[in-house]
Amino acid sequence: MCKLPEFIIDSTNVYRTKHFIVKQSIDIQCDKLENNSIVSHDTFYKRTKSRDKEFEYFFRERKIINGKRLPSTMHTRNLIK
């Protein structure tokens, strides 16, 4: 495999749930008047055989292949079918 899957491009973290592969892009937002925050921009990709194959190839050396979500104080969600 030579092309990076969409769910890896510009990601901070990628993990897999029962129905989705989730790309997290983490931003730290600093605000002098309010509290600082960690914002996760999450993109949910519906699991398919093709996406699972790509996921398993790129994360084959993980001890826990599915990974896990990084905590954040806020998040946005986008769904890709």
In tens digits, the chain (81 residues) has pLDDT values of: 568 999 999 999 999 999 999 999 999 999 888 889 999 999 999 999 999 999 999 999 999 999 999 999 999 999 998
pTM: 0.90
Residue 33: predicted pLDDT: 87
Q: How far apart are CA 62 and CA 35, in angstroms?
A: 34
Rounded (5°) CA angle 76-2-15: 30
Helix (H) or strand (E) holding 57, with range, is helix 49-58
Are the beta carbons of 16 and 74 closer than 8 angstroms?
no
